[in-house]
């Protein structure tokens, strides 16, 4: 049976309350992705949050009554909670309580499929637990403990912390090993033009990946459907391949533990020659989401010059106004529908333009007795023109410089 959930948020004033509604919509989608059923939401407007329970005393009481009446199993706070706040709220409402960060970690844990993703998620979860335990320790010493509580309590915490640290050490070692294998793969791919798909969760990255590579990947309206990077080649010109990588999506306030743990995965974005920042053009607060992704990319150390904005899902933009507004505000951006295939040719042309300096044009003169090499050339380059006379073939090609270089010793 689905857990029955109430979403809770605290905002400073009425203006923020209005903005919070979109955040709660997102929190609802996250909750549903995690398998919960949202029964309602609860917002308190209060200038100063209570250090004990975030919400004020009266509101907590009100919340407790609602939880009893509607048989609520779980409270999910949009605001970040301290460990002691979690405990106090649980004590006073009798309902299990988590915050947005814990919810996102839970979704990541559900969706991790490959060994690497599972190790990364566990690492993020343990680091998160460690911060929560540290908080609990502080709480205990602040209370002064007392006979029978403080001593053993702290001791148990120390044991827990030590076990967690040991496991973290093990996970980091295992991830190191995977990283080495990945490095090897990367070096083999070094000379290809590399594209990364980045963007807010649910913007359609995997759908675009599938449209370009014809690869069957998992696509879903759930948030964070993709946690594992997936790299595939597709031909941008006949016989000229580029590599494209589908990655994990971003979200507002992504727990920092996840960014750290997924570093190896996100490294693929940084190392790309072109980053396609894909945006769901139909979503609420588009600009805010664009800024969150741009900010995350910047923090990862991505070169801004490499980032291109691409608006997706234009098949759903029935109203022209949103389209025109975005076009005016982001004149350089492209507009596509990954699902319907609209403007994919435009996107490919854009990629071709971007990779101009990565490819070389060359006219090869090949003696007829070396004609056997032609099939090798045809397989690895885009033949623009072909002529022959009695003794020679003239082949005008477009190819990666490395390929042209490899030919020089053979013709």
Q: Does 205 engage in binding with ligand GTP (CB under 6 A)?
A: yes
- Please pick, from the candidates 89, 117, 119, 225, the single residue that binds Mg ion as defined by CB under 5 A: 225
Give, rounded to a whole angstrom, the gap between the first and last alpha carbons of the chain.
Answer: 70
Q: Does 269 engage in binding with ligand GTP (CB under 6 A)?
A: no
Which residues fall within 8 angstroms of residue 74, CB to CB, at 6 or more apart?
3, 4, 5, 6, 36, 95, 96, 97, 98
Is residue 286 a known part of a binding site? no
Residues written for the chain? 411
Is residue 399 a known part of a binding site? no
Whether the CB-CB separation of 243 and 231 falls below 8 Å is answered with yes
- Residue closer to ligand GTP by CB (options 8, 338) is 338
Is residue 313 a known part of a binding site? yes
Instruction: HSE, CB side, 13 Å, CA atoms: give it for residue 139.
Output: 18
The rounded distance, in Å, linking the Cα atoms of 17 and 138 is 32
- Residue closer to Mg ion by CB (options 194, 205) is 205
The rounded distance, in Å, linking the Cα atoms of 213 and 360 is 24
- Residue closer to Mg ion by CB (options 59, 277) is 277
Q: Does 101 engage in binding with ligand GTP (CB under 6 A)?
A: no
Element (H, E) at 355: none
- Please pick, from the candidates 31, 129, 226, 272, the single residue that binds ligand GTP as defined by CB under 6 A: 226
The minimum distance between CB 129 and ligand GTP, in angstroms, equals 25
- Which of Mg ion, ligand GTP, none does residue 201 bind to, with CB < 5 to 8 Å depending on kind? ligand GTP
**115: Cα separation from own chain's centroid:** 18
- Which of Mg ion, ligand GTP, none does residue 300 bind to, with CB < 5 to 8 Å depending on kind? none
Residues 25-44 that bind ligand GTP (CB under 6 A): none
Q: Does 332 engage in binding with ligand GTP (CB under 6 A)?
A: no
Q: What backbone torsions phi and psi does residue 146 show, to the nearest 5 degrees?
A: 100, 165
The rounded distance, in Å, linking the Cα atoms of 141 and 380 is 68
- Please pick, from the candidates 41, 93, 127, 206, the single residue that binds ligand GTP as defined by CB under 6 A: 206
Lay out the sheet containing 74-77: strands in order across.
36-45, 3-11, 74-77, 96-99
The minimum distance between CB 198 and ligand GTP, in angstroms, equals 9
What 179-186 contacts at long range (C-beta under 8 Å, 24+ apart), as own/partner pairs, is 179/264, 182/264, 186/271
Q: Does 251 engage in binding with Mg ion (CB under 5 A)?
A: no
Residues 172-211 that bind Mg ion (CB under 5 A): 205-206
- Residue closer to ligand GTP by CB (options 266, 398) is 266
The minimum distance between CB 23 and ligand GTP, in angstroms, equals 18
- Please pick, from the candidates 45, 130, 219, 344, the single residue that binds ligand GTP as defined by CB under 6 A: 219
- Please calculate the CA angle 114-120-125 and round it to the nearest 5 degrees: 125
Is residue 249 a known part of a binding site? yes
- Which of ligand GTP, Mg ion, none does residue 82 bind to, with CB < 5 to 8 Å depending on kind? none
- Please pick, from the candidates 95, 195, 225, 397, the single residue that binds ligand GTP as defined by CB under 6 A: 225
- Please pick, from the candidates 118, 164, 292, 339, the single residue that binds ligand GTP as defined by CB under 6 A: 339
- Which of Mg ion, ligand GTP, none does residue 221 bind to, with CB < 5 to 8 Å depending on kind? ligand GTP
CA-nearest of 248, 253, 204 to 224 is 248
Q: Does 230 engage in binding with ligand GTP (CB under 6 A)?
A: no
- Residue closer to Mg ion by CB (options 278, 290) is 278
Residues 287-316 that bind ligand GTP (CB under 6 A): 312-313, 315-316
Name the residue whose CB lies closest to Mg ion.
226
Q: How do 382-388 and 392-399 pair as beta strands? A: antiparallel
Q: Does 55 engage in binding with ligand GTP (CB under 6 A)?
A: no
Whether the CB-CB separation of 203 and 316 falls below 8 Å is answered with no
Instruction: Give 246-274 as a DSSP string.
Output: E---B-TT--HHHHHHTHHHHHHHHT-SE
Whether the CB-CB separation of 38 and 5 falls below 8 Å is answered with yes
Report the binding-site residues for GTP: 199-206, 224-228, 246-249, 312-315, 337-339
Q: Which residues in this chain contact ligand GTP in the complex, by CB under 6 A?
A: 199, 201-207, 219-221, 223-226, 249, 312-313, 315-316, 337-339
Q: Which residues in this chain contact Mg ion in the complex, by CB under 5 A?
A: 205-206, 225-226
């Amino acid at each position: 049976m689905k857990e029955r959930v109430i979403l809770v948020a605290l905002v400073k004033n009425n203006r923020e309350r209005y903005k919070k509604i979109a955040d709660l919509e997102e929190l609802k989608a996250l909750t549903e992705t995690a398998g919960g059923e949202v029964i309602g939401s609860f917002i308190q407007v209060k200038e100063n949050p209570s250090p004990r329970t975030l919400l004020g005393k009266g509101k907590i009481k009100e919340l407790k009554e609602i939880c009893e009446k509607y048989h609520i199993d779980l409270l999910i706070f949009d605001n970040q909670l301290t460990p002691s706040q979690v405990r106090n709220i649980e004590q006073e409402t009798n309902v299990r309580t988590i915050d947005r960060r814990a919810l996102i970690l839970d979704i990541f844990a559900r969706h991790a499929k490959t060994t690497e993703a599972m190790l990364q998620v566990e690492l993020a979860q343990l680091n998160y637990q460690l911060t929560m335990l540290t908080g609990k320790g502080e709480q205990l010493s602040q209370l002064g403990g007392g006979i029978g509580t403080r001593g053993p309590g702290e001791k148990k915490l120390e044991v827990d912390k030590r076990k967690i640290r040991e496991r973290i050490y093990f996970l980091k070692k295992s991830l190191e090993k995977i990283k080495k294998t990945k490095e090897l793969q990367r070096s083999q791919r070094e000379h290809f033009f590399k594209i990364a798909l980045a963007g807010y969760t649910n913007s359609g990255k995997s759908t675009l990946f599938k449209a370009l590579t014809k690869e069957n990947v998992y696509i879903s309206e759930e948030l964070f459907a993709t946690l594992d990077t997936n790299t595939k080649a597709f031909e941008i010109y006949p016989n000229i391949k580029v590599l494209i990588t589908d990655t994990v999506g971003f979200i507002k306030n992504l727990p920092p533990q996840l960014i750290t743990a997924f570093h190896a995965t996100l490294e693929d974005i940084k190392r790309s020659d072109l980053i396609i920042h894909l945006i769901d053009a139909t979503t609420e607060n588009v600009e805010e989401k664009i800024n969150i992704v741009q900010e995350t990319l910047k923090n990862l150390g991505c070169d801004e010059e490499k980032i291109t904005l691409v608006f997706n899902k234009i098949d759903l933009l029935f109203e022209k106004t949103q389209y025109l507004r975005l076009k005016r505000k982001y004149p350089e951006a492209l507009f596509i529908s990954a699902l319907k295939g609209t403007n994919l040719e435009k996107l490919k042309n854009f990629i071709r333009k971007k990779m101009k300096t990565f490819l070389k044009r060359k006219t090869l003169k090949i003696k007829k007795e070396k004609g056997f090499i032609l099939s090798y050339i045809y397989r690895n380059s885009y033949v623009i023109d072909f002529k022959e006379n009695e003794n020679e073939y003239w082949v005008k090609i477009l190819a990666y410089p490395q390929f042209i270089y490899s030919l020089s010793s053979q013709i």
